[in-house]
Structure 1
Amino acid sequence: MVRTYTFRLSLRMSKVAGMTGQTTPGSAPLRYRPGPERQEIAELLERLRTDGGVRVVTGEPGCGRTAFLEFAARSFRAGPVWHVRADPARIRQPHHGLRTLLRAGGRPAHVPGDGAAGEALLGVLRAAAAASPLLVCVDDVHLWDAASRAALGHAAARVHATGGGVGLLLGVPGHRPADRETAGLPVLRIAPLTPGDAAGLVDDATGGAVDPAVREELVAEAEGNPALLLALVRRLSPAQLRGRRALPRPLADAETLTAVAGGCLTGVPPDHADLLLTTAAAVRVTGEPDADADLVRAAAGRVGERAAAPDAETAPSPGARARAPHAAGPLPETLALADGRLRFRSALLGRAVYAGASPERRRAAHRALAEGTGDPRGVPALLHRSWTVTGPAPALAAELAAAAADPAAALPPGLRRAAHTRAAELTPDGAERAHRYTAAAQQALLAGDPSEALRLLEAARSRPAPASVRGGAELLRGAVLLADGPVDDARESFLLAAGLLAGHSREEADTAGLGAANAAWAAGDVAACLRALAPDGPLAHEPARVLAPVPTAAVARAAHASSAGTAGTAVPGSTGPTRSALLRDHRDGMRAVLLGRFDLAAAPLRRVVEGGLPADEPERLLGSAAAALMLGDVTAARRTGARALAAVRTLGAAALEPRALEYLAYAELRAGRHQLARTHAEEGLRTARRTGQRNTAAHHHAVLALAASIEGERELVAEHATAALRTARRHGLAQAATLAQWALARADLGAGRPREAADRLGPLVRPGARRGHFAVWMLAVPCFVEASAFAGRPEDARTVVEDFALWAACGADPQAPAQLLRCRALLAAPEAADELYLRALDRHEETDGDFERARTELLYGKWLRRRRRLGEARARLGEALMGFERCGAHPWGQQAAAELRANGAAPGGAGGGPSSRSGPGELSRLTPQQLRIARCVAEGATNREVALSLSVSTRTVDYHLRNVFATLGVRSRVELARLVEQAEKTGAQL
């Protein structure tokens, strides 16, 4: 099994000289900051100590493998550490590596010469681990002499099979096949740095003296490789780092890449060099990690004879592939072959090979690949042809752009982006060049790379262009910033686009206006939102009266940035209203909602919902889902959101997937299905991170905090709320911030801290400058009323209840009428409260969702018990307990159980005390998150892997796992796995 870990590197990249035999390394090249990284390494070392395990530590050149081993050696505290590194100068001396290892442990360096060296080493290791666990770290094992490698491999295999208190970390490079001595051992691959960690490394390396745009480009260019990232930083001058001078192009040149790759490419035979180059050229053009082996081998056979050909834009000749020699034979060790596809074992080496080749040889490789590609007019063949020319080529650029824009071609957005970019580079006309850069940026955004989209838009902005082209670029820039940037900046880009496009395309201008309204909505700026919605209908002079809450950022087509098309045309492949008509309906309905005129909002929004349902276009379906949420039609919102998600995945539009999951999560939350909302939000958070959409990630964090506040996971609530607030404050996301604060307050209320909940919610729901987002604060009113009543301050809530009554009357929230009656009951005199609670329960029957009904049952049961109506109280509290158990609301269930005990009943479910003996049924006492973690751990996942799967920190997994062990009375992962397995066999609910 391959485990993947990510670790942060500091600027101090010290070197360990040869095989020193030191048992403790010198200055640390790794700086592991407090948090998940420290927990990850601690967990790994603990497993090595307890299981006596072996890990083959690998990764591409520059990944930090040596630094990892140094840190592991320094961090191990359970016993002695033997830490050595191979000496390439003594590779031919038999048993030199083994002798050095034995000297490092203070053992005699005598090695048996009769083939028993492996058993002898095993005996030494076990003897050294007799008193306390032993950690052995050996770096560059592949450079050991053959006899030493064989002995170490034999000992490692035995340790892996039997344990015995010995932990082995064996460092080998990841750019070559595994040696047979280590081939069957567990692998730990050092992963690339995340963008956030890479940005932190740049700040460390420069002392923070780096322009944000430069830092972002450095991070993108390094692709997570820390050594390359530091090499790029060292290459730049202080003025370039601060953004005052232009960066060199290419940023990662051949010298830099070769320096990081080290000696991995030295001594390559000529026939292997041709194969390496054609493979690098093939993957560079397509953007895929591998290439067709037959195509590459055939092209490699022609590179030598074509390298001297004159530079010209030559068309591929028919049958060229058949005449070309087929280069067969053993592969270079840096390449791997699987399923007829060739790939570099290290992407960095592929980049180094391409950058290090001469321009003539690169052009020859592309020419040979173009001739061998099946479709000479397809995008791959045209891209290869484009790299054989050395200057502007208008005809080839036009052909390439047309092929990339062909909707019938089954091309991924990344390949379309590459084609549009190359077409722009070959285009001499400034306006056409800007247009093609904008098209490339749109595909980059669809592929989930907003940073690349912004860079391409900057390239488009640098060329003079007509208003229509500049408007399309600003429309796209607004969409990028709306997903990952300050939303006020997004609004201004949208407004600029609307002005530029007004005389060119009414449809695109309306799209830009709707995008500006969406950005203002996210910021909580009502006035700006209304201005952006083009008040030219029946509400043009209508004053704002009631600001109705809508729990989603709604815009139908903010990410669509095509600068072509005719307003009013029907969407291809769909029926019903035109795109322009739907945009106008969405605008008019949204404005009516903001003005509190739901009588005028219903008809246009309903047309948007119905217009999207028969479509298969993701943007149209997303607009339908947004309109359904504004109407409060959660059934339609869930249906269209699910269809939008399916359409997005079918088309491979990675950038739209987080938004589709956001709408689905909000729809499930509104429907009272918080566990389904949690599932969608966890997936949405992963996709938002993967596609660089921090704003969308903040909304998913807020949903996860709200779901965790129901399930009683206080640490998880705090973690997700903090993450949401961090981005919300930096980018002006008032909506996400209010949702996160509401989640924190609801967690307080569930934990029996009404005063803290009331203090947190008061500023959010009461009128004033600190009132929360206009689309969210109403949703938090029921929690505030309950908190105020139990905190002994009911007078604080009376005014907001009347505001909430106006919202409930709008009909946009199916839960609101029952919640309103519950709020009135909490504040009413005893003679009126009884009837209000009963009416609230009747209204709950009209909606789905166990949680809100159970809350009303709980409050009514408390009220009845305090009036000594014990029989009625017992029935209500029992219903509440079962409702909370069904939806996994653990702390609320504990409240109901405590009330039942005070009422004289003995609850047998969620409120019971710990059992002295665990069985499969005891798993029902875990919270939903604890169950998820228990199942993952039982399947053999580490805490780190569980954290990545559930989008939480390792510390949170640790916290929950301790509670799982305490609740179930188990003492190890083995016992937990046995309990989960038994539950699955007996059919117990997991």
Structure 2
Amino acid sequence: MIGRDSEFGELTALLDSARRGEGASVLVSGEAGIGKSLLASAAVETASSAGLGVLSCRGIRGAGAAGFEGLHELLLPLLDRVDALPPRQRTALEVAFGAEGEPADRLIAGLAALGLLEKATAASPIMVLVEDLHWLDRSTAEIVTFLASRMGDMPVLLVATTRVDPVYPDHRLHFGHHLPLAPLSEEDALNLIDGRAPAMTTQQRHRLVAYARGNPLALTEWSADPSWTEEPPPIERSRLPMGKRLEDSFLAEVALLPRATRRALLVAAAGEGASSHEVIRAARNLGLDRGDFAPAESFGLITLTGDTYRFRHPLVASAVYDNADSDARARVHAELAVVIDDAVRAVQHRAAAAVGWDENVARELEVLAVATGRRGARTEAAATWRRSVALTPVAAERARRTVMAAEAARQAGATADAAVLLAEAMPVVHDEGSLVQAARTELLIATTSTALQGRRGDELVELSRTLSDPADRLEILIWAAVRSYLRQDSSAEITRAVIDELGRPDLAVTEEQRVLQGIGLALISPADRITSAEKALSIFQGRVRDSDATLLNCLAFAVEDTDDLTEAVRVWTAEIDIFHRSARTSDETVAIAGRGTVHVTANEIAAGLADSEHALRLSSDLGMSVVGALAAANIARARAWRGEQELATSALETCTELSGLMPVARVEAVASWASAQMAANERRPDEALVHLLKSVEHPPIGIWAGGDLADVAVRVGRPEAVEGWLSMATTALASSDSDHLAMLVERSRALLTPGSAARDHFEQAIRRGERTTAHLDLARTRLFFGEWLRRDRRIMEARDHLAAALQVFEAHHAAPLARRTAQELRAAGGGERSQPAKSFDAGSVLTAQELHVARLAAEGYTNKQIADRVYLSHRTVGVHLYKAYAKLQISRRSQLASVLEGVLD
């Protein structure tokens, strides 16, 4: 290689690090012909000579309709190790490769691929080469980028090559290293020409260097033909992109071949990736024979490598294919479709051959799209649906398939594309099935991303009235309630219309429908409550469709609205188990985030932090911005409880970034509550009051956040600011009788009541609080009571409450409240307390994820079972446990249970 010493040195250094167990990933990028493949090949040669194993796959232009083709090529040498994977990861990989079963989220398939790499490194370090990442099927590309961000702790170097072009995805952020290949310097370019064409004159060399612009492929190709340098190129030609100029030079070379050979090259280009036997059979059907490939082989444009024809450079294939007329391409694809054995590729060629409408091919593509989606290749399924739409002649069928394309795009995480497809379909959709599916897709997008607002409740009511199927009418009305609940932006008139329509006694016929109706009404109607969460959960045990997942989440929200936080945690946990068993990682992530919010509200800070950090990690992997924003807001709230202001600020910044321009009301409310806690920690009660009042505007969160209002409102002289929340909370207590909420209400009344009458409210608040597990809110109540008692000169009584509060705050690491309480205790004459040496606290030295893994290990789960449960690789679980042992100063798994026994919540 010439002029690539620095880049090659960086790769060899990374290879050396991988041999020592310090893995990495590097993306080699540049324009066509810049030398990416040559550099990667040199790295492979170095790796092989150093004893590293090599795994590789290659993207092929126009391939990838079925998805996971590249992944199968990459992992084929390792598939004999698949039984060593955790069960769900093994199943996810098998389904991706065509076995029967339910498709898993791409996260599980990614973990399976990571697990296989980990197993393979037990034999030797590995280099993974992914060539032409820009052409790799999207499902594989997603897993490659997943792997690229996780190479740090393994003896693996992952190298991927990609073109720099706005039409291709930009994967740089996923790789630890980026190696952009720049054009060669003039000196290096001249050295390359010296080696290739020593007979060239000085003038020819300099003219070629100027024209090739440092592109090694251009220098190599054009140095072989001095005619390129005899005259300066036309100005307009010099301005063409390098890829186009190289293609033109290849076409000039192809033009020298016999006509039959040019046609044979077109068959090979259109059938790139097919076997040579298939290509030759298709050529014969077009009146050609094997001998027609020989002149191209003599020119070095194409070679027979193994069982496949390989072009000298991908630009040769693209030049041949793109320069052919559409009729010639269609004839070639039609013949390839006849001879290719693989059904998926055959359909792909029939689609490429189709001109204008073709319902037969459109129907075949629909079947392929369904099958591809069932394997979990959702991006490819969406693309296949779109191609089916383009070939569909009947408007009604075209609309139906467009709706299905939108749903497939939503499942693939391409919410913006899904929204565009829905906008195309909605004006022309008339059949009920498509109308319902469109509404379902629309609401699923609106509840998990900021790409779409969705229709208002009254619009959904109008839609329901046009439907003849009672089950469809019920579903749409439930969606209207869900939308109204989550957005909290419906007018009283719209809300009333939804309640009236959804509450009709003749709407629900079966027991299941009545349960679903109850969930919808509980979300939107204050007069309706969930009567049996157990019965509601039971109807989802045997099925979990996409729409069911949202209804399950709304069931948990409805239970939260009964103000029974313990029951809400139980329902969220049951949902997590349901989603986990059915490998629905995205839905499980939503439920984990939901449970984390309730945990923190219920004062279970460590559990809430573990759930929220888990949900944030998963949402990042799955591209679920709204869920990630909620998790981040809740992390900020948990950190604020502990006084970890910098960490809380960072979490709120993450929340803002993920929320986008249209933040969800629930996320805004939790974030405002966190901001209020942070402001209170820094003794800025006026700012805390503003944030709390904003949080109270969202009743499901505000009913609990409002419990903090009275303290800051009194401090800034605005006790009237509490009245609205106090009225809302009192109304809620009339039907829920929650001891936790009652404590907050009585405490607030105590803080607002002048004179001795406040005592009765404080004592009532403490009595209700002692019936709960809300230890922090109870301790805060004791703190406020202690402050009141000290001002009332009841010093001894004040000390008792303050000392009890301080003990709880210290045990839960609630540093700001602990400082405030200690200061108040000193003012009450409590002095400096002499305490026994503090016992070792596992909860304070482990990260939330380490604590989560350690607890599961202590409960008897194996590393494989833990990996399956928390969506980590087997090796990563081992690393977390290794770090936990060191931090906990233990050496055996059997010691975990005792050392974790005292960790709170």
- Aligned partner of 1:980 among 881, 887, 901: 887
Superposed displacement of residue 820, structure 1? 1.2
Superposed displacement of residue 725, structure 1? 4.2
Mapped to 2, the partners of 1:382 and 1:431 lie a distance apart of 23
Specify the SS of the correspondent of 2:697. Answer: coil
Q: State the Cα deviation string for residues 892-928 of structure 1 (Å, max 9, x = none).
A: 3344445555612526489x9xxxxxxx937666596
| 2:809 paired with 1:884 | yes
Q: 1:388/1:462 Cα in 2 relative to 1: closer, same or farther (>3 Å)?
A: farther
- Aligned partner of 2:500 among 536, 539, 554: 536
Mapped to 1, the partners of 2:568 and 2:317 lie a distance apart of 46
Mapped to 2, the partners of 1:628 and 1:884 lie a distance apart of 29
**Which of 1 and 2 has higher RCO (CA within 8 Å, sep 6+)?**
2
Q: 1:149/1:501 Cα in 2 relative to 1: closer, same or farther (>3 Å)?
A: closer
Q: 1:887/1:789 Cα in 2 relative to 1: closer, same or farther (>3 Å)?
A: same
Q: 1:464/1:54 Cα in 2 relative to 1: closer, same or farther (>3 Å)?
A: closer
Mapped to 2, the partners of 1:539 and 1:568 lie a distance apart of 9
Q: 1:854/1:499 Cα in 2 relative to 1: closer, same or farther (>3 Å)?
A: same
Amino acid in structure 1 at the alignment position of 2:425: A
Superposed displacement of residue 484, structure 1? 1.9
Q: How many residues align?
A: 674
Correspondence for 2:683: 753
TM-score where L is the length of structure 1: 0.54
Q: 1:754/1:807 Cα in 2 relative to 1: closer, same or farther (>3 Å)?
A: farther
Mapped to 2, the partners of 1:905 and 1:148 lie a distance apart of 65
Q: 1:865/1:368 Cα in 2 relative to 1: closer, same or farther (>3 Å)?
A: farther
| 2:838 paired with 1:838 | no
Amino acid in structure 1 at the alignment position of 2:685: R
| 2:784 paired with 1:859 | yes
Structure (1/2) with the larger helix percentage: 2
Amino acid in structure 1 at the alignment position of 2:466: G
Specify the SS of the correspondent of 1:840. Answer: helix
Correspondence for 2:466: 503
| 2:414 paired with 1:449 | yes
Correspondence for 1:904: 831
Mapped to 2, the partners of 1:664 and 1:430 lie a distance apart of 45
Q: 1:417/1:176 Cα in 2 relative to 1: closer, same or farther (>3 Å)?
A: closer
Mapped to 1, the partners of 2:596 and 2:47 lie a distance apart of 57
Amino acid in structure 1 at the alignment position of 2:651: H
Q: State the Cα deviation string for residues 655-691 of structure 1 (Å, max 9, x = none).
A: 5344333433334344433333333333333443444
| 2:131 paired with 1:175 | yes
Maintained 8 Å contact 1:625/1:637: yes
Matches for 1:715-726 after TM superposition, within 5 Å: 715-725=646-656
Q: State the Cα deviation string for residues 577-622 of structure 1 (Å, max 9, x = none).
A: 23xx4453334333322xxxx3x44559997566557765543533
Specify the SS of the correspondent of 1:847. Answer: coil
Correspondence for 2:707: 782
Specify the SS of the correspondent of 1:439. Answer: helix
Mapped to 1, the partners of 2:657 and 2:788 lie a distance apart of 40
| 2:811 paired with 1:826 | no
Correspondence for 2:26: 59
Maintained 8 Å contact 2:552/2:575: yes
Q: 1:725/1:61 Cα in 2 relative to 1: closer, same or farther (>3 Å)?
A: closer
Mapped to 2, the partners of 1:632 and 1:701 lie a distance apart of 23
Mapped to 2, the partners of 1:404 and 1:141 lie a distance apart of 35
Specify the SS of the correspondent of 1:730. Answer: coil
Mapped to 1, the partners of 2:43 and 2:529 lie a distance apart of 75
Correspondence for 1:630: 561
Maintained 8 Å contact 1:490/1:516: no
Correspondence for 1:515: 479
Correspondence for 1:342: none
Specify the SS of the correspondent of 1:491. Answer: coil
| 2:390 paired with 1:483 | no
Matches for 1:364-379 after TM superposition, within 5 Å: 371-372=341-342
Mapped to 2, the partners of 1:850 and 1:258 lie a distance apart of 72
Maintained 8 Å contact 2:590/2:627: yes
Specify the SS of the correspondent of 1:632. Answer: coil
Q: State the Cα deviation string for residues 490-520 of structure 1 (Å, max 9, x = none).
A: 235x755654453234544444444344444
Correspondence for 1:660: 591
Maintained 8 Å contact 1:278/1:366: no
Matches for 1:24-103 after TM superposition, within 5 Å: 59-62=26-29
Superposed displacement of residue 531, structure 1? 3.7
- Aligned partner of 1:431 among 396, 414, 418: 396
Superposed displacement of residue 816, structure 1? 0.7
Superposed displacement of residue 368, structure 1? 5.5
| 2:517 paired with 1:584 | yes
Specify the SS of the correspondent of 2:498. Answer: coil
Correspondence for 1:677: 608
Q: 1:59/1:668 Cα in 2 relative to 1: closer, same or farther (>3 Å)?
A: same
Amino acid in structure 1 at the alignment position of 2:694: L
Specify the SS of the correspondent of 1:577. Answer: helix
Superposed displacement of residue 527, structure 1? 0.9
Maintained 8 Å contact 1:486/1:730: no
Mapped to 1, the partners of 2:520 and 2:612 lie a distance apart of 27
Maintained 8 Å contact 1:444/1:450: yes
Mapped to 2, the partners of 1:980 and 1:688 lie a distance apart of 28
Correspondence for 2:229: none
Matches for 1:253-264 after TM superposition, within 5 Å: none
Structure 1 spans left out of the alignment, 5+ residues: 1-15, 26-44, 67-84, 92-139, 154-170, 178-183, 203-214, 231-252, 282-295, 312-326, 336-347, 374-378, 541-566, 571-575, 766-770, 913-919, 936-949, 952-974
Superposed displacement of residue 628, structure 1? 1.8
Maintained 8 Å contact 1:609/1:627: no
- Aligned partner of 2:644 among 689, 713, 721: 713
Superposed displacement of residue 819, structure 1? 1.1
Mapped to 2, the partners of 1:686 and 1:879 lie a distance apart of 37
Correspondence for 1:18: 3
Correspondence for 2:491: 527
Mapped to 2, the partners of 1:276 and 1:639 lie a distance apart of 60
Maintained 8 Å contact 1:517/1:529: no
Mapped to 1, the partners of 2:171 and 2:44 lie a distance apart of 37
Superposed displacement of residue 743, structure 1? 0.8
Q: Which deviates further from its counterpart, 421-430 or 815-824? A: 421-430
Specify the SS of the correspondent of 1:62. Answer: strand
TM-score where L is the length of structure 2: 0.58
Maintained 8 Å contact 1:665/1:676: yes
Q: 1:878/1:354 Cα in 2 relative to 1: closer, same or farther (>3 Å)?
A: farther
Amino acid in structure 2 at the alignment position of 1:786: D
Q: 1:468/1:927 Cα in 2 relative to 1: closer, same or farther (>3 Å)?
A: closer
Matches for 1:254-333 after TM superposition, within 5 Å: 299=275, 301-309=277-285
Maintained 8 Å contact 1:648/1:657: yes
Q: State the Cα deviation string for residues 219-272 of structure 1 (Å, max 9, x = none).
A: 5999989999x9xxxxxxxxxxxxxxxxxxxxxx9968999xx9xxx9xxx9xx
Matches for 1:599-610 after TM superposition, within 5 Å: 600-601=528-529
Amino acid in structure 2 at the alignment position of 1:175: E
Maintained 8 Å contact 2:338/2:346: no
Specify the SS of the correspondent of 2:454. Answer: helix
Q: State the Cα deviation string for residues 278-318 of structure 1 (Å, max 9, x = none).
A: 9986xxxxxxxxxxxxxx8xx5543332345469xxxxxxx
Amino acid in structure 1 at the alignment position of 2:756: E
Mapped to 1, the partners of 2:436 and 2:848 lie a distance apart of 47
Amino acid in structure 2 at the alignment position of 1:457: L
Structure 2 spans left out of the alignment, 5+ residues: 53-126, 134-152, 183-240, 255-261, 288-302, 855-869, 872-881
Maintained 8 Å contact 1:472/1:501: no
Superposed displacement of residue 435, structure 1? 0.5
Mapped to 2, the partners of 1:841 and 1:803 lie a distance apart of 21
Amino acid in structure 1 at the alignment position of 2:489: D
